[in-house]
Structure 1
């Protein structure tokens, strides 16, 4: 991402969360009343689609909380209903909508606590570009891939829908 300001980061997260919601709607349409697709996974040692929703939301959620000076707070990874998945997305978008931080925030040191007493310290720019955004895309793409594997008729246009308004005809 070339622009490194809070508004641009927020816009990126918002638009891709709209993509996640779009993918969820297509899955819901494909599977009808069954919510079994929430348990679909690519491989047995990978987390299911419902968890991918929560993990995708965690990145912009923790960005918004950090911008507000609050500690990271990951969502419950056990997403067992479509309603809960939509709620995670909507709540994350609401958090992003209420960010009121200056770009100087990106120069602050961030501590990310990992498991077993380990942690990473990095400046806000690195936190966003080396931690949050890569994790965000990893889980968004994994969610997309799970749905493709499960037979949901989706394609690149569904994943890249943020570009659709820019398409022109010659």
Structure 2
């Protein structure tokens, strides 16, 4: 059986993690004098800081890969202490995604998620991806982007949508 959906998910996660890495680089260059304070920036007092947004963005594809490998969820430490640690989270998540070797039948399996205090949810693999992982992945990626924008880092939609840049054509090109 082919694994078109699994491969598509790997590609989506990888390309958006490339975007996160790019955003981090731009933020780092903008905050070159006080780069570590960037990790503590947040949109609102009750929201998690930029460093945590990076960890939580990485947790989604990371736990997807672990599930595909038959392993338990293993979230990253949300207290990101340095930009080196943030970069490592992104690159190690991308490396973990490369280890996936399952077909699309994995998406018909049931994924149980425990929330503590006896609470849990069971979802089909496809619902796990579509209804849990992807919304959480984009929520934390967009929140990281928004924190950088609020911190006046010179980024825009092109930076967020950079996965489409290779497909841009000029009308005069054949």
Q: Please, what TM-score do these two structures have when normalized by structure 1? A: 0.97
Alignment of 1:1-170 (within 5 A): 5-34=5-34, 35-170=36-171
Residue 110 of structure 1 and its aligned partner are, at CA, apart by 0.4
In structure 1, the gaps of 5 or more residues are: none
The count of residues paired between Structure 1 and Structure 2 equals: 168
1:11-58 residue CA offsets vs partner (Å, 9 max, x unmatched): 000000000000000000000142101000000000000000000000
Q: 1:87/1:134 Cα in 2 relative to 1: closer, same or farther (>3 Å)?
A: same
In structure 2, the gaps of 5 or more residues are: none
* Native 8 Å contact 1:37 1:49 kept in 2: yes
Larger radius of gyration: 2
- Aligned-residue RMSD, C-alpha: 1.1
Q: Please, what TM-score do these two structures have when normalized by structure 2? A: 0.94
